[in-house]
Amino acid sequence: MTSTSHATDTMEETLQIQLSQPVLQLGSKGKAVEELQKLLSDWGISTGPIDGEFGYQTEQSVKNFQRRVFLEENGIVAERTWRVLYTGAPVDMPELSQGCQGELVKKVQRILKSTCDYIGRIDGNFGAMTESALTSFQRRYEVAITGVVEESTWRALIKVK
């Protein structure tokens, strides 16, 4: 006999419905914009009034949110932005470890610098100093101490304000 959890089924159905939201950008109006503004507010990001009007302030709030969760900062709310808004977790993120380079490494270094874990130059090179800072961060945030930025570490990193 197989049993399924109604709560799990309902949560998955709800997420699929929520993710069928339209693409929103400057000038958009309506219930979906109200939902966006409420979600941003729930994340602690001010959008101004929850009025269903996607104006300049909402666009800036979306960009701030996108920066915080490692998405392209374009102010457009498409599928990936909706997914992060609803799930509270970064989506489609690569694993970063020693030897990796680039903009994502710089973003991680900036966060680690803001938490006083990283004291090096923000250079986009994931070396021994970045790994050491990351393990310190992982220890304090009670994430598996691996020295690698993987899913649980990405989740912890987006919680840093």
Q: For position 22, which CATH number holds?
A: 1.10.101.10
Instruction: Give the per-residue pLDDT at 3.
Output: 40
User: Is the Cβ–Cβ distance between 77 and 39 less than 8 Å?
Assistant: no
Q: Would residue 66 count as lying in a domain?
A: yes
Instruction: Give the per-residue pLDDT at 19.
Output: 61
Instruction: Give the per-residue pLDDT at 20.
Output: 78
User: 21 and 61: one domain?
Assistant: yes
Instruction: Give the per-residue pLDDT at 2.
Output: 40
Sign of CA dihedral 42, 44, 45, 50: positive
Q: Would residue 18 count as lying in a domain?
A: yes
Taking 50 as the pLDDT cut, the residues of the chain under it are: 1-11, 13-14, 17
Instruction: Give the per-residue pLDDT at 85.
Output: 93
Instruction: Give the per-residue pLDDT at 89.
Output: 84
Q: Which of 62, 87, 112 is the last residue of a domain?
A: 87
Instruction: Give the per-residue pLDDT at 101.
Output: 98
User: 107 and 71: one domain?
Assistant: no
Using CA atoms, how far apart are residues 125 and 2, in angstroms rounded to an integer?
49
Q: Would residue 93 count as lying in a domain?
A: no
When divided into structural domains, the chain yields a total of 2
Q: Would residue 141 count as lying in a domain?
A: yes
User: 35 and 72: one domain?
Assistant: yes
Q: Would residue 129 count as lying in a domain?
A: yes
Using CA atoms, how far apart are residues 20 and 82, in angstroms rounded to an integer?
9
Name the residue range of residue 70's domain.
Answer: 6-87
Q: Would residue 97 count as lying in a domain?
A: no
Using CA atoms, how far apart are residues 67 and 158, in angstroms rounded to an integer?
9
User: 73 and 123: one domain?
Assistant: no
Using CA atoms, how far apart are residues 154 and 127, in angstroms rounded to an integer?
18
pTM exceeds 0.85 for this model: no
User: 132 and 59: one domain?
Assistant: no
User: 77 and 113: one domain?
Assistant: no
pLDDT digits (tens, 9 = 90+) for 63-105: 999 998 999 999 999 999 999 999 888 888 999 999 999 999 9
User: 82 and 109: one domain?
Assistant: no
Q: Would residue 95 count as lying in a domain?
A: no
Q: Would residue 92 count as lying in a domain?
A: no
